Structure 1
């Protein structure tokens, strides 16, 4: 009887040690936080630029300042993401919603810029807007590439597909303001 009781207690104890508890959620996303913080900063700058675009009259100064701020944030984001550790699959999943949100905000910005196209042409600002959009596109692609490189290999195709929505929005802006479609009046 003592052998049975002792063996049950030992088996129970060894089973308790063998069971691994999932880490607390505050640790699961620690590596993704750097990237989500970058995405949040980019989104904040997109919103700031959108506000400047909506208020654009004949002075492009506030729009240019906001656009330079956005490009700078994207560039520093590339550096931050590149220096961050690789993500687990679970951490990668936490990026889906921020990327979707970013796409929505980018689409709003592009729609608002396109809404100012007549004024941009009248104010002889097509070249400046075109160059700014090109800078945003180039640096955004670098941010996408840096972020996708942190996702596990088995999920990188999905990450690329998710990020492609943002790239498509920027490509639409490039087309709308290319030399054939935006001519200084």
Structure 2
């Protein structure tokens, strides 16, 4: 690899790290070329070498957010079926300081995604992927007799995701009311209602 290419990749890494620092501190509302340049201690002109404008910067920021979300440490499910469903739900919640920061950024991204057709499509696809993962766990739980055999997998996945995202938003706005242990209790309460339906079949 040539020195020039190495320098370019190093600089791009530095820019990406600066983008993440701005997101973590100010969210998408504060994400500007000037703010990224300030985080790097560099000129705005250097940043515009990588991003022609705000839209390209936002696209890159969302890519970083998705990558960091995929790379973050995750809980290990003890078994397939209901334990996996529980683990997937817990993994979405702001149970740690890192989880709080990640969720704050994701919630902040909704506005920019809803106002741009391409970003809207990308985020809609992301939620389809999340629901598909929940569907797999739900199907396994049905086959293992942990959930009602008549349960509508797609509907239940949508309900579970809606419950989890509602809990995320409540926790971000009232963290003192929703410490990690209470969030976990609420997830277990939610899952208990599903298994109660099985018992009444």
Larger radius of gyration: 1
TM-score scaled by structure 2? 0.36
TM-score scaled by structure 1? 0.38
